[in-house]
């Protein structure tokens, strides 16, 4: 761990109620303890409308060729009633329930019962048992990192089926997309409700639970920090990584297969979306150990936001480009295709390099080279709930000297590339870049608020040294 610690005598701790020069009644650098009206309003909005937004997008492809405006116009002009749209919507089927149950059970099996073997033969890959970051209560959890292996096994079976066994059609996901949506919702709500009940009655670590006193906030943002069943089944790692992200590339492959079935060819835009998003997904699994140090695992508690979001929002809305291209097969000119590819690859390069620079810096405690030089940094300290003092460092070299979240900038460039691959006929494929811009800007502000609570005046020194958030000189 990069953080060093030094225990304070408990008497001294009791007297001391300042942290890094800031007065605090308790150490509160984890998730918020108090809910402001804006957060509450956003949460209520999302709880009420996020499931409808997902339904609206998928329904508009199914019934209106991916036009987001046609259903609204039809409803407003009285040409259609809500009941007409609802009655045309495919219902939950036994087939979809069977496929989904098998899918989730298979991913649980791969996660829980097959210890990682990839790290034994893939040079540079970090898998097997790894440690997460220090929690606000001062605990360090262990994780079995075997996501790459789960992804490889799942995809090998997919291709073996598509080219050899023919147990099912590779278009199976597309063909059952709406019935599967109901299954994903059932799991998403079941896991979120279970996490809430578990947080109240049998938490894995009571010290790392947070109750704000606001039911909706706690349901949405979670109570437990790292809910687990048994020693190894970690809710955050499993739901963040497995049913949604392993499925992401399979969903895109299913869309490509559907294009092939419908039009006798797969367009270059579909190939670009499959390749660029495939790189992003593979990167996630190759760097799963690094992922333990990201905000999702390090700071977010497990509630509806992660539980339902990973089961429904991610697989359904992150794959809209491929879905759109089934209904509107776009064949890009060579120059446009190269432009999209270059934007996607440069975005990915920035995203990966920035994340790698921080990971290397933190892993080696600053004893490394960034762009050929020893990195510069700001020394900082923070305290956990039990009063233990930790030391850490904030790097000001490499991309981290350009902006405080240049990794998000790279991510946004890649996201824009997926959207541009779909041409300009409809706005639906552009939902992703709009959403990612809101998500990452909000995340940036949320993270900085948390870092300020954690590091106090040291964080201020850092923001003076690196004044911009995402785009140097602008924002």
**Could you tell me the smallest distance in angstroms from the CB atom of residue 231 to ligand NDP?**
25
**Could you tell me the smallest distance in angstroms from the CB atom of residue 43 to ligand NDP?**
18
Residues that bind ligand NDP (CB under 6 A): 294-295, 351, 355, 358, 392, 394-395, 400, 405, 407-408, 411, 443, 447, 451, 454
Separation in Å, CA 298 to CA 165, 234, 293 = 42, 13, 6
CB nearer to ligand NDP: pick between 226 and 268: 226
**Could you tell me the smallest distance in angstroms from the CB atom of residue 128 to ligand NDP?**
22
Closest by alpha carbon to 152, among 298, 278, 275, 1?
Answer: 278
Tell me if 322 sits within 8 A of 273, measured CB to CB: yes
**Could you tell me the smallest distance in angstroms from the CB atom of residue 183 to ligand NDP?**
22
CB nearer to ligand NDP: pick between 295 and 471: 295
Task: Using alpha carbons only, give the angle 181, 185, 189 rounded to the nearest 5 degrees.
Answer: 175
Tell me if 82 sits within 8 A of 112, measured CB to CB: no
CB nearer to ligand NDP: pick between 141 and 268: 141
**Could you tell me the smallest distance in angstroms from the CB atom of residue 83 to ligand NDP?**
35
Q: Is 130 helix (H, G, I), strand (E, B) or coil?
A: strand
CB nearer to ligand NDP: pick between 166 and 449: 449
Separation in Å, CA 340 to CA 64, 260, 334, 356, 438 = 27, 22, 10, 24, 22
CB nearer to ligand NDP: pick between 5 and 193: 5
- Nearest residue to ligand NDP, scored by beta-carbon proximity: 294
Closest by alpha carbon to 145, among 286, 280, 247?
Answer: 286
**Could you tell me the smallest distance in angstroms from the CB atom of residue 454 to ligand NDP?**
6
**Could you tell me the smallest distance in angstroms from the CB atom of residue 218 to ligand NDP?**
22
Q: Is 370 helix (H, G, I), strand (E, B) or coil?
A: strand
- Cα distance between residue 229 and residue 239, in whole Å: 13
CB nearer to ligand NDP: pick between 127 and 375: 375
Separation in Å, CA 17 to CA 22, 26, 425, 452 = 9, 7, 58, 16
**Could you tell me the smallest distance in angstroms from the CB atom of residue 94 to ligand NDP?**
32
Tell me if 423 sits within 8 A of 448, measured CB to CB: no
Tell me if 25 sits within 8 A of 204, measured CB to CB: no
- Cα distance between residue 410 and residue 279, in whole Å: 14
CB nearer to ligand NDP: pick between 170 and 366: 366
CB nearer to ligand NDP: pick between 32 and 92: 32
Quote the distance between the C-alpha of residue 281 and its chain's center: 11
**Could you tell me the smallest distance in angstroms from the CB atom of residue 279 to ligand NDP?**
13
- Cα distance between residue 265 and residue 251, in whole Å: 18
**Could you tell me the smallest distance in angstroms from the CB atom of residue 46 to ligand NDP?**
15
CB nearer to ligand NDP: pick between 174 and 400: 400
Separation in Å, CA 437 to CA 89, 278, 313 = 31, 21, 16
CB nearer to ligand NDP: pick between 261 and 386: 386
- Cα distance between residue 357 and residue 454, in whole Å: 22
């Amino acid at each position: 761990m990069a953080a060093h610690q030094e225990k304070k005598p408990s008497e001294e701790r009791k007297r001391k109620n300042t942290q890094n020069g800031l007065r605090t009644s308790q150490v509160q650098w984890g998730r918020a303890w108090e809910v402001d009206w804006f957060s509450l309003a956003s949460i209520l909005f999302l709880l009420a409308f996020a499931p409808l937004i997902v339904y609206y997008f998928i329904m508009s492809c199914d019934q209106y060729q991916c036009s987001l405006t046609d259903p609204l116009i039809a409803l407003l002009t009285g040409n259609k009633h809500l009941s007409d749209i609802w009655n045309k919507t495919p219902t939950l089927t036994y087939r979809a329930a069977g496929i989904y149950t098998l899918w989730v059970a298979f991913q649980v099996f791969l996660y829980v019962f097959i210890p990682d073997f990839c790290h034994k033969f893939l040079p540079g890959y970090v898998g097997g048992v790894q440690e997460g970051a220090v929690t606000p209560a001062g605990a360090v959890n262990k994780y079995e990192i075997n996501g790459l292996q789960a992804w490889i096994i799942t995809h090998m079976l997919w291709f073996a089926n598509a080219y050899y066994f023919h147990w099912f059609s590779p278009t199976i996901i597309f063909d059952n997309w709406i019935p599967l949506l109901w299954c994903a919702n059932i799991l998403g709500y079941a896991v979120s409700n279970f996490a809430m009940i578990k947080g109240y009655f049998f938490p894995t670590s009571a010290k790392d639970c947070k109750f704000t006193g606001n039911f909706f906030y706690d349901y949405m943002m979670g109570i437990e920090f790292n809910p687990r069943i048994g020693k190894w089944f970690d809710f955050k790692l499993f739901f963040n990584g497995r049913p949604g992200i392993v499925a992401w590339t399979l969903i895109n492959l299913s869309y490509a297969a559907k294009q092939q079935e419908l039009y006798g060819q797969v367009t270059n835009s579909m190939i670009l979306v499959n390749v660029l998003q495939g790189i992003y997904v593979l990167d996630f699994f190759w760097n799963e150990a690094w992922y333990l140090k990201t905000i999702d695992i390090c700071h977010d508690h497990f509630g509806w936001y992660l539980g339902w979001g990973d089961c429904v929002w991610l697989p359904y809305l992150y794959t809209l480009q491929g879905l759109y291209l089934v209904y509107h097969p776009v064949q890009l000119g060579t120059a446009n295709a190269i432009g999209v590819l270059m934007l996607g690859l440069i975005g990915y390069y920035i995203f990966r390099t920035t994340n790698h620079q921080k990971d290397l810096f933190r892993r080696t405690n600053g004893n490394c080279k960034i762009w050929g030089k020893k990195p510069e940094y700001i020394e900082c300290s923070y305290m956990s709930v039990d009063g233990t003092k930790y030391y850490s460092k904030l790097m000001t070299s490499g991309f981290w000297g350009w902006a405080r979240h240049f990794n998000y900038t790279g991510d946004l460039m890649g996201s824009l590339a997926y959207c541009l691959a779909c041409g300009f006929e409809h706005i639906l494929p552009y939902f992703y870049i709009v959403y990612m811009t809101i998500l990452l800007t909000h995340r940036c502000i949320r993270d900085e608020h948390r870092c300020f609570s954690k590091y106090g005046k040291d964080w201020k020194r850092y923001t003076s040294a690196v004044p911009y958030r995402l785009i140097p000189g602008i924002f």
